[in-house]
Amino acid sequence: MPDISAGDHKAYMRLALEQAQKSPPKPTNYRVGAVLVDSAANEILATGYTLELPGNTHAEQCCFMKLAQKHGVAEEDLKEVLPPELALYTTVEPCSKRLSGNLPCVERVLRLTESIRTVYVGTMEPETFVTENTGKKSLQSAGISVVHVEGLEKEILDVATAGHTKG
């Protein structure tokens, strides 16, 4: 894992973007990367990217699944083993609806409100697949800060939409 200075949100977002680039381009999803950080210790706990794990998985979901496996707990029980000051970096706003029927990433984050204090996003979700993503609003309503890390939007969208039909 790279050595990133505490509070260097752009560097963490770049790491999330590197994760997103590992995701296979497909016309039916965004290529997203995520990084979960223990803010107090400035330690990366998990990384993930779209389709990293089987089952039409999203980046945030992969972070949580890998961390649950590492701690030997079910994903829904992660809150019992996580430190209290986590930050989630994700290249695209967490989804509020999954067309696949999987649990939306926002709901996965909301299960961890005792730990995740801030979600840093590189760009808000384009309305290609789900219009009116309510992810940001849902997180903020639960007391989780949502912070836009500016400056990488074009790169993030280029990676996220690779494989999509332009037109």
CA distance 99 to 78: 25
Catalytic annotation present for 75: no
> Token digits for 56?
């039409």
Buried b (16+ CB within 10 A) or exposed e, 78-97: beeebeeebbbbbbbbbbbb
For residues 99 and 127, is the Cβ–Cβ distance under 8 A? no
Q: Which residue has the tokens 């790169």?
A: 155
Q: Which residue has the tokens 């990367």?
A: 33
Q: Which of 18, 43, 52, 60 does the annotation list as catalytic?
A: 60
Q: Are strands 145-148 and 116-123 parallel, antiparallel or unpaired?
A: parallel
> Token digits for 66?
């890998």
CA distance 72 to 22: 26
CA distance 80 to 71: 10
Which residue numbers are catalytic? 60
